[in-house]
Amino acid sequence: MKKNFFSIFFIAILCFSNSYASFERGYADLVDKLLPSVVSIATTQIVERQASPIPELPEGHPFNDMFKDFFGNQMPKRENLTGLGSGFIISDEGYVVTNNHVISGADEITVIFNNGLDEVAATLVGTDPKTDIAVLKIDPSNLNIQHVNWGNSEISRVGDIVLAIGNPLGLGGTVTSGIISSINRDIGGGPYVDFIQTDAPINRGNSGGPLFNLDGEVIGINSMIISQTGGSVGLGFSIPSKTAKLIVDQIISFGQAKRGWLGVQIQDLTQEFSDSLGYDSTDGAFVASVEPNSPAAAANIQAGDIIIEFDGKPISSFKDLPKVVAETDIGKEVLVKVWRNGAMTDVTVIIDELNEGVQVASNEGLYLKDLDVTLAELDNETKQSMGIDMKTQGVLVKDVGLKNQSLRSMDIIIQVSSEKIDSLNSFEKIVQDSLKLKRDKLLLRVIREGNEFWLINPFVVE
């Protein structure tokens, strides 16, 4: 008996010693296996700018037409905008995952391998701006490529050790480590992503790179940081692999993401709402309205209902519902539990496909820190209410911060210099391009209270 006890004790000590020795070595063995699968993404965008800006003169000045004729006929100047980011290979066929914002607007995309020798052109398979995911394709011929595997972000816990590998500040093959600081983090990145928060140092250029667990599996795509300086302060955010893998598979299969559609407008269930309805909780999503000819309408979901469970998943907040609906397979029959008139009711809904081409911007809009304004898409209802031509294209100024002294709420921006605006994406792209070119202001064509004019809007200087 004693002999067996000492044998077990000896084996336990040996295992502990081996584990301790492995810990002392750090993550070098694991990193050696992962590095060949992580790549740097270099992009080039060709833009045309006027060689000289049109001088700014008051509206109606007699020299305005002369300056427009003179400067407007000058040949535009072609400039190359370059960008750097990260990505990772997910298959032997050469599929590469990165962030949409890394390759947005690029005319050329190059994938650079960690060995520093191989550089290959990449083609864009598809993107999903809503989740900031893009998929590229490279020709694997004559390349010894290695791919990584997806992990299950659902079983990740706060405190788990993670590794981030990428191309921060152009320094490819950089490895940083940390822990998961929080999960299911809502930082205003859209209704379809609850981020993993990590304190593993992430900087500009890490975007699109993988976040690994200690099994060498990808549990997130590093996408955002929160920092007043632009550098790492230990607040990095990654798209969970559960969301990312679903979107990536759809992009590879269909060229785009396909999302489920229920067809309800929802809002937060406040304590006041609950009290007035006689509902003894604030958990759930309050149905403000139901869209005609939608799956919800066909299933007799009604305005005033409280959705508390969808397809077996509890809805704790109204923000939970868009994500679980979007991730539901098209055509699936789903059981929805609703609270109505003081009682629980089960409703069966057949989920349809969301046609995002006709969706309007979210209530929150798009906030641009560099202009200190919140913008929204210009929809037909707004055009009609403001009495402007239905053919007008532009973006609506919803809110103006104290740092912006040029724009006003309800202004409509229809043009920036010589470029016309047709969406939030086009305006945001022009802003980012101008910042890259180190411009300090924008020349905006604006409609205000039915009057159309030009104004100068400086960028915010911190």
| Distances in whole angstroms, Cα of residue 75 to Cα of each of 52, 115, 160 | 10, 42, 57
169 token code pair? 């500040």
Query: Which pairs from 26-30 meet CB under 8 Å and 24+ separation?
Result: 27/163, 27/175, 27/177, 27/214, 30/163, 30/212, 30/214, 30/216
Judge contact between 414 and 445, C-beta under 8 A. Answer: yes
- The question of whether 160 is a catalytic residue gets the answer no
Alpha-carbon span 376 to 384, nearest angstrom:
16
- From the list 128, 132, 320, 411, the catalytic residue is 132
Alpha-carbon span 311 to 296, nearest angstrom:
14
Alpha-carbon span 51 to 340, nearest angstrom:
64
Instruction: Using DSSP, state whether 249 is helix, strand or coil.
Output: helix
- The question of whether 101 is a catalytic residue gets the answer yes
Residue 178's DSSP bridge partners are 162
- From the list 37, 40, 86, 101, the catalytic residue is 101
Report the alpha-carbon angle 77-78-80, nearest 5. Answer: 140
- The question of whether 132 is a catalytic residue gets the answer yes
- From the list 40, 104, 153, 207, the catalytic residue is 207
Residues recognised as catalytic: 101, 132, 207
